[in-house]
Amino acid sequence: MVFFNLWSVFQWYLRPFIKWFLRKTTRLCELQRICYGDKIGAQRSCNIEKSLMLSRTRDVQEVVAFLDAVVKERRFIPTLFSEILDPTVNIIIRVKKINKKLHDSFSPLFRQCLIQIWSYRQLVDEVEELRCTHFDSNDPIHEKKLLRLWGLLMPDRPLEARITKDWQDIGFQGDDPKTDFRGMGLLGLENLLYFATEYRQASNHVLSHSLHPKYGYTFAIVGINLTSMAYYLLKDGSAKTYMFNLKQHLPSINLFHKFYCYLFYEFDKMWIESKPENMMEFSIIFKKFENAVRTELADPASVFRINIEVDTI
């Protein structure tokens, strides 16, 4: 740890010299070198973000602060991108003394990185708001979503009462699911509902595994645990690999839900393949799964997709 801290301090003081040397030898600023040299997606956008965050130039710091303020106001949306980003990119070009005629490809490449970076930051705020919203059984919208979850997972079995042990059949702990949402708030319900709505075959497949007489587990509770995993992967930046490498999509709440669905489906596969003796092995298998996901996300080239394979066990 001491060595790491010393190396960080060393890098901090050495960084300006390295940048100056590379600017002189390549005739390109750091942002240009990243845009031209790094692979599109997570590698490029993450390095652009790091460069901007480490900048000691006042104008660059003000650009970052401005974009962060736009995110806090929830105004970083496609219809406002031109209004927000055109002056932002022009400031960077002026500060970095980039010749627009010689480097006409820089602006669109850099602009796309900014869109990914600050769309991700806005997503973090949106997810945090959902997590902090408590499930309220007196709110008809919350209740409607909960009952819809039951209807999607148990379409041939009407719920006989709102407070009932039947909820345990889809993996809640007690008679009233509201107590299980305390840790992740409304985010936990939204994730489960998205999985059941958008991936009907996969969610029913996973639910059938959770009801297995030998390898069964608590579907909803495991789902809420996976919400927690997805949330922390988003917060600490690990999920940028997933978000930034889906080039046709910007970071959004739907993309977060899809990430969650991927985690749920893949965890279920690992659980079944592990052939656990009982639920006491949950913590070990869950940690193994998280480590595997983090290892894959650490590779900036990783691309995550749900590959549905319905099997029998």
In this prediction, residue 305 has a pLDDT band, given cuts at 50, 70 and 90, of: confident
Domain span holding position 91: 2-131
* 113 and 208 together in one domain: no
For position 1, what pLDDT does the model report? 53
* Contact of 261 with 202, CB cutoff 8 Å: yes
* 163 and 204 together in one domain: yes
Q: What average pLDDT does range 244-267 have in this prediction?
A: 94
Residues 273-285: pLDDT tens digits? 999 998 899 999 9
Inform me whether the pLDDT recorded for 5 exceeds 80: no
For position 25, what pLDDT does the model report? 74
Domain end residue (candidates: 96, 131, 166): 131
Question: Which of 225, 143, 219 shows the shortest CA–CA distance to 183?
Answer: 225
Name the more confident of 208 and 303. 208
* 91 and 105 together in one domain: yes
Residue 305 lies in a domain: no
Inform me whether the pLDDT recorded for 6 exceeds 70: no
Report yes or no on whether pTM surpasses 0.75.
yes
Tracing tokens 């991927």 back to the chain, one arrives at 262
* 182 and 251 together in one domain: yes
Residue 288 lies in a domain: yes
* 118 and 149 together in one domain: no
* 45 and 185 together in one domain: no
Residue 312 lies in a domain: no
Domain end residue (candidates: 63, 96, 131): 131
Question: What value does the mean pLDDT of the chain take?
Answer: 91
Inform me whether the pLDDT recorded for 312 exceeds 90: no
Residue 302 lies in a domain: no
In this prediction, residue 22 has a pLDDT band, given cuts at 50, 70 and 90, of: low
* Contact of 261 with 197, CB cutoff 8 Å: no
Residue 313 lies in a domain: no
Residue 30 lies in a domain: yes
Residues 115-143: pLDDT tens digits? 999 999 999 999 999 999 999 999 999 99
Inform me whether the pLDDT recorded for 170 exceeds 70: yes
Domain end residue (candidates: 109, 131, 153): 131
Side chain identity at 78, as an amino acid letter? P
* 232 and 193 together in one domain: yes
Please give the tally of structural domains in the chain: 2
* Contact of 285 with 276, CB cutoff 8 Å: yes
Question: Which of 192, 214, 208, 197 shows the shortest CA–CA distance to 263?
Answer: 192
Residue 308 lies in a domain: no
Cα–Cα distance for residue pair 34/118, rounded to 1 Å: 18
Inform me whether the pLDDT recorded for 65 exceeds 70: yes
For position 27, what pLDDT does the model report? 77
Cα–Cα distance for residue pair 275/264, rounded to 1 Å: 17
Inform me whether the pLDDT recorded for 160 exceeds 70: yes
Cα–Cα distance for residue pair 195/251, rounded to 1 Å: 18
For position 264, what pLDDT does the model report? 97
For position 24, what pLDDT does the model report? 60
* 73 and 182 together in one domain: no
* 45 and 140 together in one domain: no
* 153 and 285 together in one domain: yes
Inform me whether the pLDDT recorded for 4 exceeds 80: no
* 227 and 212 together in one domain: yes
Residue 311 lies in a domain: no
* 147 and 192 together in one domain: yes
